[in-house]
Amino acid sequence: MPREPRAGNGYRCAGEPAADNGNVIDLSCALHRSWFIGRLVAAIERKISLVAAIPFPKRKVSQTIAKKELALLAAAYPHAVTALSYRSPFELLIAVILSAQCTDARVNLTTPALFAAYPTAKALAAARVTDVERLIQSCGFFRTKAKNIVAAARALVETHAGRVPETREELEALPGVGRKTASVVLSVAFGAAAFAVDTHVFRVAHRLGLTIGTTPLAVERDVTMLLPESKWRFAHHWLILHGRTICKAQRPLCERCPVRQLCPSASIVAKTRAGRGNSSAAGAEARRRARSTSRASKE
């Protein structure tokens, strides 16, 4: 089994060959690697568990309040648009597929080289998946995404003459395209009435008390019934931008929020923060006591 840290700042494996590799973590050793990854994961889990999650409100606000909240967001983000760079429905479709589990900024850094190499569905359909993997490897899950975008391009060529279809059914039939991706393409590329629910939209809609739905579809239904169809495609951007800039997952900036007077989560956030403050103060006190006990025992 791998040993505990040895003197110095590194680790060595019990089965390590005679040639000493010094005080470094030898990731070429499978046993050592799995031990190290285990320690790393445990450390990350410990860190995460220290941050108390902010609970969502248990009830929806009234329809009147909900509509006022959405009107305030509409006024706060009148020009909100997608952050993804694209020049055609084809590029938007590919960019949205790549954006799953990945930031839009990262996708925008990736797509110029991809679209320079494969500017059309026909070109991408003829690509080797391994070549595409190399171009998108900075995105999370790049192997699956490379497979999906090549397969989607082939489906576009075979079934739609290389064009992106304009109906939800046809879009959702493409590899790698689910309801959210289809909604983004329909609303952004074609101006259709669609409301996409991503992680920001899900969180902000809950915090504002617009929904208590547990699935993206339930959230979509709750939010769209508050708005005329003509506003659905804009509402998606209001909530995303608000989630990115103000109503952040771990540290919502309620003091700067234009909706705070109506938001049922403002008090929940304050209470959670107070709890976090208490637990970190208690932790600091415990560490201080442990240090002084250890000093006393040495003296």
Answer yes or no whether residue 259 interacts with ligand SF4 by CB under 6 A: yes
Q: Give 77 or 90: the residue with its C-beta nearer to ligand SF4.
A: 77
Contact 276, 251 (CB under 8 A): no
60 is catalytic: no
Answer yes or no whether residue 145 interacts with ligand SF4 by CB under 6 A: no
Answer yes or no whether residue 263 interacts with ligand SF4 by CB under 6 A: yes
Q: Give 124 or 263: the residue with its C-beta nearer to ligand SF4.
A: 263
Q: How many residues contact ligand SF4, by CB under 6 A?
A: 14
Q: Identify the residue among 80, 184, 219, 254 touching ligand SF4 (CB under 6 A).
A: 254
- Please name the amino acid found at residue 40: L
What are 104-111's contacts with CB under 8 Å, separation 24+?
106/138, 106/139, 107/139, 108/83, 108/84, 109/138, 110/135, 110/136, 110/138, 110/139, 111/85, 111/86
Answer yes or no whether residue 203 interacts with ligand SF4 by CB under 6 A: no
**What's the burial of 21, exposed, middle or buried (CB within 10 Å: 0-12/13-18/19+)?**
middle
- Please name the amino acid found at residue 200: H
Distance between CA atoms of 101 and 206, rounded to whole angstroms?
20
Answer yes or no whether residue 266 interacts with ligand SF4 by CB under 6 A: yes
Q: Give 85 or 245: the residue with its C-beta nearer to ligand SF4.
A: 245
Q: Give 31 or 74: the residue with its C-beta nearer to ligand SF4.
A: 74
180 is catalytic: yes
CB of 145 to ligand SF4, least distance (A): 31
Answer yes or no whether residue 269 interacts with ligand SF4 by CB under 6 A: yes
Judged by CB under 6 A, the stretch of 103-111, 131-139, 184-192, 252-260 that binds ligand SF4 is 252-260
Contact 188, 92 (CB under 8 A): yes
Q: Identify the residue among 207, 226, 240, 244 touching ligand SF4 (CB under 6 A).
A: 207
**What's the burial of 140, exposed, middle or buried (CB within 10 Å: 0-12/13-18/19+)?**
middle
Identify which of 241, 180, 242, 181 has the alpha carbon closest to the alpha carbon of residue 207: 242
Contact 29, 182 (CB under 8 A): no
Which member of 122, 198, 222, 298 is catalytic? Answer: 198
DSSP sequence for 107-155: HHHHHHHHHHH--SHHHHHTS-HHHHHHHHTTSTTHHHHHHHHHHHHHH
Q: Return the residues of window 17-36 that contact ligand SF4 according to CB under 6 A.
A: none
Which member of 131, 180, 248, 271 is catalytic? Answer: 180
Answer yes or no whether residue 246 interacts with ligand SF4 by CB under 6 A: yes
CA 282 to chain centroid: 31
**What's the burial of 295, exposed, middle or buried (CB within 10 Å: 0-12/13-18/19+)?**
exposed
Q: Give 102 or 262: the residue with its C-beta nearer to ligand SF4.
A: 262
CA 207 to chain centroid: 17
Answer yes or no whether residue 272 interacts with ligand SF4 by CB under 6 A: no
CB of 28 to ligand SF4, least distance (A): 47
Judged by CB under 6 A, the stretch of 44-52, 154-162, 225-233, 254-262 that binds ligand SF4 is 254-262
Residues annotated as catalytic are 180, 198
Please give the residue ranges that form the binding site for ligand SF4 (CB under 6 A): 207-208, 246-247, 252-254, 257, 259-260, 263, 265-266, 269
